[in-house]
Amino acid sequence: MDDLTQTFIQESSELLTQMEDALLALESAPEDPELLNSLFRSMHTIKGAAGIFGFDPVVEFTHPIESVLDQVRSGERVLDEALAELLLQCKDHTAYLVEQVTGGAEIDPETEAKGRALIAQLTGQRVASAPVEGSEQGAPPPAPSAEQESTPPAGGSLWLITLQFGRDAFRNGMDPASFISYLGNLGEIVDLIVQLDHLPDADNFDPESCYLGFAILFSSGASQQEIQSVFQFAEDDCTLRIVPQAEIEAAFMASRDQLPAEHAQRLGKMLQAAGPKAADRVPGRAPGKQQGARPGASHESSLIRVDSARLGQLINLVGELVISNAAIKLRVEEQGLAELNELVETSEHLVEEIRDNALQLRMVQIGDTFSRFRRVVRDVSRELGKEIELVITGGETELDKTVVEKMTDPLTHLVRNSLDHGIEMPQDRIKAGKPPCGTLSLDACHDSGHIVIRIQDDGAGLDAEKIRRKAEALGLITPDQVMSDKEVYQLIFAPGLSTKEKASNLSGRGVGMDVVKRSIEALRGNIEIDSEPAVGTTVTIHLPLTLAIIDGFMVGARGERYVIPLSMVEECVEMDSSQWQLDEARRYVNLRGEVMPYLYLSEFLQIPEADQRARRESLVVVRIGQHKAGFVVDTLYGELQTVIKPLGSLFNGFRGISGSTVLGSGEVALILDVQGLIQAATAQMQLH
């Protein structure tokens, strides 16, 4: 049950996200039938699944919401701004109820009261005899509660339901009794026959297979579609037929000869007890698949859910396989076993394929993360009294799931900052000659083995002078310190610095931006800010696609080996002063007309000189975003697959190093922090 409950939690979360996305999209396309159907399906599916698990508080709360959404879908009720706002609140309350009931907690009276108030607003009912807004004459009639609908209305229709479960129903986690139990929420089960005519003899009996069938006489005012929806989760594991009262007699006459005699007799008595005109109205077994199977079911059945921890374990094992393969290759070279070279190369190719496919399993589209901010933009802009449109591009861009998860909080802070600090009030925008509605853009794309995320607004831009004055007041810089505007903008990542005069619940306390920067750098990424007064601000983030295994480029400095992520390497050239213009004092090189800083890796990392022999020096040109620099090294070893290993807390803050890897020889090679080294090289050039 724990596994099934986790599945329910995950599916409910996905459905609630779909509901929120549909509601936000309907604000711009209020009559889109697909979006309206998506709204209804989300709440309907959550209610049905909660009923199967016996989570009654969720069922009771979602049932009237489902009824209202059905009215919206059928055109009986208009989805206006007020109703959309209420439905969003209902979505949030449903998420809270799911969290509570799946955690085994009792629903407290305050939560129950909040739920009743939301339903009252939604349906126009009264709460505790108090008038509720929208309950005046002309308001939509109240939807029946779950308790009311569980009792069939007087004169409810009679239905005959035949249900035969498939052999794999138990193996797929189905509990036939739970479906029968939940059916009682829609009406009264007048009588029920358990059919075991598919039961094999003892020699062929499989205790893990399901042989159960049911004939159910059911009285309810529900529609055939509502009754059929009870069994939607078992649609791939059963055959189902629902016969309305008017067709029971004809169905029974057509199939009674196929029924075992004892079943026909029992059904006759059952129908006779139900009413004078119900006798002899039981259909036979219905061959074939359930009617009304939802579109895409066959596609869904081809997908499986995998625990992210298992994927992480798989990635770790692939990493060990990469290291072992490198060790085999090294031993073959050392022993001069040329006849094994072809086998080693084939093995290496297969390991690369396994690595790429394993990493692909953890790749997810960033668009799902971006879509979460539609609600943030909507709620914050209304709270601030602003008009803001969110534009999302590049949502199909993929990166490692672990990177996406760790980027959610930093992105949230940056988005809220743009909404609060960046985009002006409508009247201020009009005075500045801008449209009253501001625009916030989220964009993602791939660039040289990295993902680039941009958060851009068309607001007032950053005030460099104001930031500088604040930084001077905090002692972060001195008044005589010369800085470009771009360098001043980077000061907003300093702890405690905020240009907002008055703190709010959104921003202004000087905390958050420093955490944003640390979080991004912990992912081996970097963040930059560009701004133009009265035009807007752009925050650009560069991140690696994965944190586990990369293609690396190994270099040597004074006998020590280091790895640079291959995606950051632009080129390698000989460090020749006669060919390139070098400035040894200021440490910059003019490479074919492009000026960039450089540093000697051995000097920066303080590697002791092993011997005094002259070494042939090479310049490795690296790039992150728009920033370039050169690293002077002694040896170029070439490409290799690199399994990233953390250094441990003892080496936290170690300059120039971001991790380590194990070579085929068993030696440890350090992975260079390219971003940190570029910053150090740039600072070194400016210092001189």
Specify the CATH number for the domain of residue 191.
3.30.70.240
- Higher pLDDT, residue 125 or 441: 441
Q: Over pLDDT 90: what percentage of the chain?
A: 14
Domain assignment present for residue 48? The answer is: yes
> Which tens digit of pLDDT belongs to each residue from 73-83?
888 888 888 88
Q: Which of 85-99, 218-232, 477-491 has the highest mean pLDDT?
A: 85-99
Q: Specify if 302 maps to a domain.
A: no
Average pLDDT over residues 525-541: 90
Span 544-591, pLDDT tens digits: 877 778 888 999 988 889 999 888 899 999 887 677 888 887 888 888
User: Which tops the pLDDT comparison, 160 or 138?
Assistant: 160
Instruction: Summarize pLDDT for 242-294 with one digit per residue, the tens.
Output: 888 777 766 666 665 556 655 666 665 555 544 444 433 433 333 333 333 33
Tally of domains within the chain: 5
Q: For residue 136, what is the domain's CATH number?
A: 1.20.120.160
pLDDT band at 184; cut points 50, 70, 90: confident
Is 303 domain-assigned?
no
Using the 3D structure, point to which of 527, 544, 561 is the last residue of a domain: 544
Residues 106 and 207 in one domain: no
pLDDT confidence of 688, banded at 50, 70, 90? low
Compute the average pLDDT of residues 612-621: 78
Q: Which amino acid is at 247?
A: E
d(CA 451, CA 389): 24
Amino acid at residue number 361: L
We report the CATH number of the domain holding residue 451 as 3.30.565.10
* Residues 599, 588: Cα–Cα separation, whole Å: 8
Same domain, 572 and 594: yes
Q: Is the pLDDT of residue 458 over 80?
A: yes
Helix (H) or strand (E) holding 531: strand 526-532
* 418 and 535 belong to one structural domain: yes
The pLDDT value recorded for residue 499 is 62
End-to-end CA, the chain: 67
What distance in Å separates the CA atoms of residue 573 and residue 580, rounded to the nearest whole number? 10
Give the model's confidence band at 441: pLDDT under 50 very low, under 70 low, under 90 confident, else very high.
very high
Instruction: Tell me the pTM.
Output: 0.63
Between 7 and 542, the higher pLDDT residue:
542
As a whole number, the mean pLDDT across the chain is 79
388-432 per-position pLDDT tens digit: 999 999 988 888 888 888 888 899 999 998 998 889 999 999 999
Q: At 121, phi and psi to the nearest 5?
A: -65, -35
Residue at 301 is within a domain: no
Check which CATH number belongs to the domain holding 594 and give it: 2.40.50.180
Confidence of residue 92 (pLDDT cuts 50, 70, 90): very high
Structure token digits, residue 116:
């009743």
The answer as to whether 38 is a domain residue is yes
The three-point CA angle 445-448-454 to 5° equals 30
Q: Which contacts of 224-228 are long-range, i.e. CB under 8 A and separated by 24 or more positions?
A: 224/159, 225/292, 226/186, 227/159, 227/161, 227/183, 227/186, 228/290, 228/291, 228/292
pLDDT (tens digit per residue) in 39-55: 888 888 888 888 877 88
- Are 401 and 495 contained in the same domain? yes
Q: Would you state the structure tokens that stand for residue 45, as one six-digit string?
A: 């599916």
Does residue 152 belong to any structural domain of this protein?
no
Q: What SS3 class is residue 582?
A: strand
CA–centroid distance for 75 within its chain: 32
% pLDDT > 70, the chain: 82
Give the pair of three-digit tokens for residue 581: 């213009």
Residues 522 and 626 placed together within one structural domain of the fold: no
Give me 41's structure tokens. 């399906």
CA–CA distance, 200 with 202 (Å, rounded to integer): 7
Domain that holds residue 105: 2-146
Which domain-ending residue is among 509, 544, 579? 544
Q: Would you state the pLDDT for residue 249?
A: 65
Regarding whether 514 and 386 lie in a shared domain, the answer is yes
Q: Dihedral (C-alpha) 252, 254, 259, 264: value to the nearest 10 degrees?
A: 30
**Boundary residue ending a domain (362, 388, 403):** 362
Checking if the pLDDT of 457 tops 90, the result is yes
Q: In this structure, are 138 and 161 located in the same domain? A: no
Residue given tokens 């890897």 in the structure block = 661
Q: Going along 533-578, which residue ranges are E strands? A: 536-544, 549-557, 560-565, 569-574
344 and 450: one domain? no
Confidence of residue 687 (pLDDT cuts 50, 70, 90): low
Per-residue model confidence (pLDDT) at position 559: 85
Q: Is residue 276 part of a domain?
A: yes
Cβ neighbour number for residue 89 with a 10 Å cutoff: 15
Q: Which amino acid, 348? A: E
- If asked whether residues 527 and 564 sit together in one domain, one would say no
Same domain membership, residue 419 and residue 558: no
Round to whole Å and give the CA distance between 379 and 385: 10
Give the separation between CA 448 and CA 626, rounded to whole angstroms.
12
The answer to whether residue 22 sits within a structural domain is yes
Residue whose pair of structure tokens reads 């089960």 in the numeric block: 189
Residue 551 near residue 567, CB atoms below 8 Å: yes
Q: Are residues 285 and 352 in the same domain?
A: no
Query: How far apart, in whole angstroms, are the C-alpha atoms of residue 148 and residue 63?
Result: 11
173 with 131, same domain? no
Residue 253 is encoded by which pair of tokens? 């006459």
Q: How far apart are CA 527 and CA 516, in angstroms?
A: 9
